[in-house]
Structures are given as structure tokens and as C-alpha cells.
Structure 1
Amino acid sequence: MTGFLVHEHRESVAAPPSRPGATRSPSPGTEPGATPTRKEPSEGSDGAGKGTPKPRGSAAGPAGPAVTVDPGQDRKGPADASGPLYAVSLDQSKVLRWTGEGTSWAEIGGVAGKVYAGGAGVFATDPVDGRIFRYDGKPGAWTYAGSEGAEFALTDSKLYALTPGRDAVMRYDSPEKWTPVGGPAGHIYAGGAGLFATRPEDGHLIHRKSNGTWTRIGNPGASFAVGDEDVYGLSPDRKSVFQWTGEGDVWNRIGGPADTIHAGGAGLFATDPATGHIMKYTGTPDRWKDIGPKGAALTVGDSHVYRLASDRRTLWRWTSDGTDWTRVGGPAGAIASTD
């Protein structure tokens, strides 16, 4: 294939090149979050813990003993199949699962580079060769899923990959079985709202519909974020945040400048370039709530937000109230959440 099969809604008015989609009822250009700067949570320093895309360790996956590790973590017994938060240790030697209690973590796998978690399951990649493995719900039990991919993304039910050459989008159906669902793409994005990709030739955003066809829904953006029901875009100049209306390529502007955007069941969040803080979208255009400093990484789950401190030494969980965060762990190199 030379590209995605695209059905364009030509009756829609295309947006200006500087925006991810057409504009409807634009609001004044204020930044995402006009609330005053608030006190940041403390950042402690003790521990926490197609071919086809496996963290190094064994042919069965990132194997490792079912014990809690990393200095400063409470020791705990074997992990069960589920967990609200997963992390890769700072030295990439372990995959860890938060038990949901205090700062207790359980080791569920060995060497890994990245971890992905969602409705489709928990996956981890080998930091050396990029192969990807699926966690089978028991510490040390991982199934080889496939070889290296340029990118991976999860919807509520499926894992998708962009091939290393970015020439095809693939769907993981079973161990070592991947099905092509699209042609070349620049990037892929996924979540509860579905699967999305950018066209490599022009950066336009396209959406894979339930019938398997792809349709253009917006112009280029600096980045996109997919929530449970909505899709958001950050304009190429990072001066505006937009929300897709779900109709053709029509988007509403909902916020001003942002460095990054993140979405999930817990809502839409953006990092404010002026303060370096995380701003939560309230649902009203240009009204954002300051919830604290952005740190080194942020993951949005179904109902909570987790943040890795800027020095990567501590992990925090947002309480959904003001700027209060609860410390749940220590050093980590990568995080992913299902909660």
C-alpha cells in the first residue's frame, strides 16, 4: 500500500495549517490554566520501586522472581494479575507492579525498556532489540508478542504497532500473529476513543472507523491525545489545544499554550510552558485547573493520574483534589497505568 485508505469529508471546511482541525466558536487565546501557581508536592529520594515486536531475560519474556525489590520499597509477596500502575526500574532491570497499598511494589518481570498498560493488557519491550512481550498475569510469565516496532499504542481491547519503517500499522491478534490494518503513518495514537494516525506525507490526522476504513479528521498537530471518548490536538506551534467534535474535520479550541497533552479516563491534562505545571481541563474552554508540577513523566489512567518526579526518584498519585499528591513509589524509568 502507498498510504491509508482515506475517505475525506469534503463538505467540511478545512482548518488553517496552524491548527489540528477546523475551528468552531474559538475562545480568547488564554493559556490552559489561569489559576494561581500552587505549592508543589515534595520530591523524596528513596526507592520504588512485522515480524512481530521482549524485554531481555528469557524466551518466555522479562522473567524475574516474584518479590519486591528496589531500596526503600516495602517487601511484598507474589503479585496478582492486575494492578493500577506499572513501572520499569530506573536501571531497566525489572518490571514492577504497584500493589495499590502505600509504596509496596512487586517484581513481575526482568529487563525492560518501556511498559504499556490498558484494557488490552500489559506489555513491555526489550531495551536492546525492541521486541515486545505480553504479561500473562503471573510474575515471571510473559508471552512473546512480536519484534521491534517504531511505536506501540493500546485501545480498550487491542495493541497496535507501527512497523520500524513506519510503512504499515499492525494489530496484535495473538502471539506472533499481527494483522495489517493500515498503510504508512508518521505516528499512531490510541485509547478508548479508538485508533488514530498521522499521514506521513502531510501530517494530517486520520481515524480508523469501525468498518476498517480510514478517514481524515484534522490537520497537522504537534501531538495528539486520545481519551475514553474524545480526541485532542496540540497545534503545530503549541499555542492552542483543540478537541475534535466527532464531526468530519471540525475541532473546537479549548485552551492556549501547552508543551504536552495527555488524556485518559481521568480527563485531559496539559503541561503549561509558563509554569511547568500540569493543568486539568475542566470541560469549559479556557478553564484549566493547576494540579501540580509536571515532572519527568505523566500517565493518565481510568480515574487517576500518576506522575514521575523530575529527578525520577519518586512516583506520585493525584488525589483528584487541588494539588495534593500521594507518594506511591520511588525510582522509575518508565510508567503506565490502567487505573
Structure 2
Amino acid sequence: MALTVNAVTIDVQDRINGVHRYDGTGTSWTQIRGAVTVGETVGGGWGIVVGGTGGETGQVLGYSGTPFDWFSMGERGATYAVSHETVYKTTPDGSQVLQFDGFEDSTPLWSKVGGSASLAVAGSVGVVAQMPDLQGDTFLYTGNPDDWENIGPGGNSYAIADTIYRSHPLGTKVFKYNGTGTSWGDIGGPPGGVARLFGGGFGLFATALDASGVFRYRGTPGNWDRIGEQTGSCAVADDTVYRVGGDGSVFRYNGSGDSWSSIGRPDRVFSILVASD
């Protein structure tokens, strides 16, 4: 399962005008969708989902792998999380968590796996939500319908790398889940505080609350290195991390220090995400 970087772009009036997929070399990108709702463009190991607009308003759509070919997955949700295996969403009123189970003929199937929640993140270690809402504690889905384990207090931002990470609600520090019960370790954070966390196979990264840059966690508490300029969006693949530059271009990290290479831009990039091929 190779993860490829994708970009949501905006026009000169700052309106969303498309989703583009990086072609893998140089600065070449392929557009795969027109105007979308940026808050509902989510990716992961399973693939990409978007919220429908125009004639598809009210639907959530999955990418088939062919540019501009998307299939309806049913009613749009309030929050989403994409794992390696499938897609999760909350109902529009946030009262239930639903899991995508595929299709029966052409009918999308979803099953209830949880109650009132706000989905936070999904990845290699599972699906994480705040319950009963964005102000709630942190819960991890056990894989059994309606069985979620309370693993600790709520956070402001979440990421999954080798385990689950959450930032303090005030952005003052980052906590690493120890894997059992409600045990978390304080691993510090960027000197200027934590704005957002980003995680994946390549590790854990944070943008600074004081806009001082992108920081990489080096695996021991308090050990964070500044690796690049501040950005509004990062995406972590298995072998590197990407960020959006000030001019709307996308940059790929070269692996050490603060060295990055531009991979161009299909248009002015607003946000990026990684998803499987």
C-alpha cells in the first residue's frame, strides 16, 4: 500500500477548485476532481473521500482511482476518519459512528459501531474519537460494534504514528499513548507550542503555535527538531513528509536538517493529504 500525496487547491478568489494527485516524479500533478468542500476531503490507507457538491450535494464520495470517477457512498456525515481498511463517519447530528461495509449491489452499506462522538483520526493502531463530542475524552475503537475504550482526556489535535498522540487543549505540550488503560507520557513539543499534529509511517510532526516552523519528534521526550518553515498543512507518508509553502507550492522533505525539494503545484494549494494508490 503506497501512500501518495494529494492536494486541495483554491483559485484567486480563495474558492476550492479541485483535488489533484501527485504523479510521483518531478512537478507533475493530475486533477482528479473539480470543486469540493475542503472540510470534507479526507484520506488514508483506504483511499480518498470527499463531500459532494452541485448535483452530488448531500453525498459522500469515494475515489475509484480514475480521474473524475467517484462513486457515491451514501449520506454525508459530520466528521470522518479513514483507516487502512475502511471509512468511518458520524451521522450529520453526531449521534452515531458508522463504518462503511462496502456495497450490496449498488447500495452502500454502513453499520453502527458507536454512539455520540466526534471522529479524530484513524491509522495503523485503530480509530480514535472524542466522546460524546469535540469536548469529550479520548476513546479508541476496539473493533467490536459499540465497544470503545476510554484511553484518557481529550486533546486539541491528534495524530497516529507508532502509537496515538494528542496535544494539550491549550497547545502547551504533546502526549504519547503508552498502549494500555489511560496511561500517556509527556513528550514536550515545539518551543512555541503546538498548533497541529501530523503523523504516519515516517514519524510524528507538529506545526508551532507561534508559527515558528515545522518540528519533528525525535523519539525521546523533549527532543523536537525544527525542520522547516511554518505551514498550514502537512501530510506524512511512509518515507517522507510534505508541507505547503507560502506560495501554495508543495515541498517534500529530503530526510535531514531543514532541506526540502519543491514538487510544484497544480494550482494554489490549500491543504494536502496522503492516500493509497
Amino acid at match of 1:237: L
Task: Provide the residue aligned with 2:220 in structure 1.
Answer: 284
How many angstroms apart in 2 are the aligned matches of 1:84 and 1:309?
Answer: 18
How many angstroms apart in 2 are the aligned matches of 1:160 and 1:187?
Answer: 8
Structure 2 unmatched ranges of 5 or more: none
Q: Deviations over 1:16-43 (max 9, x none)?
A: xxxxxxxxxxxxxxxxxxxxxxxxxxxx
Helix, strand or coil at the partner of 1:166: coil
Identify which of structures 1 and 2 has the higher relative contact order when contacts are C-alpha pairs closer than 8 Å and 6+ apart. Answer: 1
Cα contact 2:231–2:243 (8 A) shared by 1: yes
Q: Which of the numbers 239, 245, 265 marks the counterpart of 2:178?
A: 245
1:249 offset after TM fit, Å?
0.1
1:83 offset after TM fit, Å?
6.6
Percent sequence identity over matched residues? 32
Q: Which of the numbers 180, 184, 191 marks the counterpart of 2:112?
A: 180
Superposed counterparts of 1:63-74, under 5 Å: none
TM-score by length of 2: 0.85
Amino acid at match of 2:187: I
How many angstroms apart in 2 are the aligned matches of 1:314 and 1:145?
Answer: 31
1:304 offset after TM fit, Å?
1.7
Say how many residue pairs are matched.
257
Amino acid at match of 1:337: V
Q: Determine if the alignment matches structure 1 residue 327 to structure 2 residue 262.
A: yes
Structure 1 runs (4+) greater than 4 angstroms displaced: none
Task: Provide the residue aligned with 1:151 in structure 2.
Answer: 79
Task: Provide the residue aligned with 2:6 in structure 1.
Answer: 86
1:338 offset after TM fit, Å?
3.3
Superposed counterparts of 1:122-271, under 5 Å: 122-127=48-53, 129=57, 131-175=59-103, 176-200=108-132, 203-212=136-145, 213-227=147-161, 229-256=162-189, 257-271=193-207
Cα contact 2:211–2:230 (8 A) shared by 1: no
How many angstroms apart in 2 are the aligned matches of 1:334 and 1:113?
Answer: 12
TM-score by length of 1: 0.70
Superposed counterparts of 1:307-318, under 5 Å: 307-311=243-247, 313-318=248-253
Q: Deviations over 1:183-233 (max 9, x none)?
A: 001343211110111112661111111334211100122222222x30011
Amino acid at match of 2:168: S
How many angstroms apart in 2 are the aligned matches of 1:333 and 1:200?
Answer: 30
How many angstroms apart in 2 are the aligned matches of 1:320 and 1:190?
Answer: 25
Q: Deviations over 1:222-267 (max 9, x none)?
A: 222222x300111122111100000100000001431221111111
Cα contact 2:3–2:238 (8 A) shared by 1: no
Q: Determine if the alignment matches structure 1 residue 338 to structure 2 residue 270.
A: no
The CA RMSD measured in Å over matched residues stands at: 2.1
Residues 219 and 83 of structure 1: CA distance in aligned 2, closer, same or farther (over 3 Å) = closer
Structure 1 unmatched ranges of 5 or more: 1-81
Task: Provide the residue aligned with 2:21 in structure 1.
Answer: 97
Task: Provide the residue aligned with 1:53 in structure 2.
Answer: none
Q: Greater CA radius of gyration, 1 or 2?
A: 1
How many angstroms apart in 1 are the aligned matches of 2:254 and 2:263?
Answer: 12
